[in-house]
Amino acid sequence: MRPVDFKAVAEAARRLKGVAHETPVTTSSTLNRVLSCEVFFKCENLQRVGAFKFRGAYNAMSRLSREEKRRGVVTYSSGNHAQAVALVGRMLSIPTSVVMPADAPELKRAATKAYGADVLLYEPEKETRESIAEELQQKRGCVLIPPFDHPDVIAGQGTAALELTRQVEDPELILAPCGGGGLLSGCAIAAKGRLPSCRVMGVEPELADDAARSFRTGTLQTVHNPPTIADGTRTASLGRITFPLVLAHVDDMVTVTEAAIRQAVRFFFYRMKLVVEPSGALGLAALMSGAVSPAKRVGVIVSGGNVDGAVMAQILGKRRTSNVQRRTSNVQRRIKNPA
């Protein structure tokens, strides 16, 4: 197995140059004023396929041998990695098969098919995506490119933070969403490779807090199909590769409520004019809810923007509920002017 270190992230950045978008960093003067710090949002919602997942998929698939590319690739994903693998497969002429849960967002499922992938749906309550993918591997001889637990995928995801540290001078803290830990561990390796004093924290929904519990106990914890609106974080656990990387390189983990996630999505939409999916809004949710005490300069990885219209309408139309933490409410009350 190839090592996942700063050198691997730097090499991934060279492969992705001119292929992946160098996504912009944006700010909100209103948010900065209310939080009394500077927050820099790394907009991976504007990446190819609308999510950071393109980085890892391309880095991994571009390294396959000619024979492996001929045999094709299989993966499993609720959406963003699925789209990324499908698009990279089209770009590199690699046949792709994607195992997706039947309840995956329609937007992501349709986009995956449109990129040319063979989509196989499964029922999460009855089957496991890993077993279906393994069966396909045996039947078709294809190569598995998992959504997070793969050295080249992790290194590719880490290039988002590597770019951020080059675009923003000396961030003191970086917040990254955590599902399976590929983005978080890759970003921690990248950030600390350039700025050893920079703290990196992972953010999870309270309803899908397996990584936070794993981090606290040092023992891998699991969760089964958690009912969080942040569908990109519904992974059962951190991976065999990502778990030790998170323990070694991440400084802390925090969780946020569903109400705080919705508040953050609304803030992005109404105040910053950005479409951000719930998983991508976790870092902002942590800042607005007070789950994280902000440093003077904070980088936030906005992981994606693929959200169904019906889900977005439900989030935007729902009023703030009483269980939103006090600081979120204070932020909303104090915001009078557009960003």
Give the integer Cα–Cα distance in Å for 255 and 213: 10
Task: Using DSSP bridges, classify how beta strands 38-43 and 25-26 pair: parallel, antiparallel or unpaired.
Answer: antiparallel
Cβ neighbors of 47 (< 8 A, separation 6 or more) are 20, 21, 23, 54, 55, 304
Whether the CB-CB separation of 255 and 226 falls below 8 Å is answered with no
Amino acid at 260: A
Give the CA angle between residues 11, 174, 15 to the nearest 5°.
15
The three-class DSSP label of residue 200 is: strand
Measure the CA–CA gap between 143 and 73, rounded to whole angstroms.
5
Clarify whether 53 is annotated catalytic: yes
Q: Which of 53, 62, 185, 289 is catalytic?
A: 53
Amino acid at 231: D
**207: helix, coil or strand?**
helix
Q: Measured between alpha carbons, how far is 235 from 195 in angstroms, rounded to an integer?
A: 29
Is 78 among the residues known to form the active site? yes
What is the bridge-based pairing of β-strands 173-177 and 38-43? unpaired
Q: Which of 62, 78, 185, 279 is catalytic?
A: 78
- Distance, in Å, from the CA atom of 15 to the CA atom of 293, rounded to the nearest integer, reads 36
Of 186, 129, 151, nearest to 60 (Cα)?
151
- Give dist(CA 120, CA 263) in Å, integer: 34
Name the one residue in this structure whose structure tokens are 């923007």. 305
Q: Are 286 and 292 in contact (CB under 8 A)?
A: yes
Active site residues: 53, 78
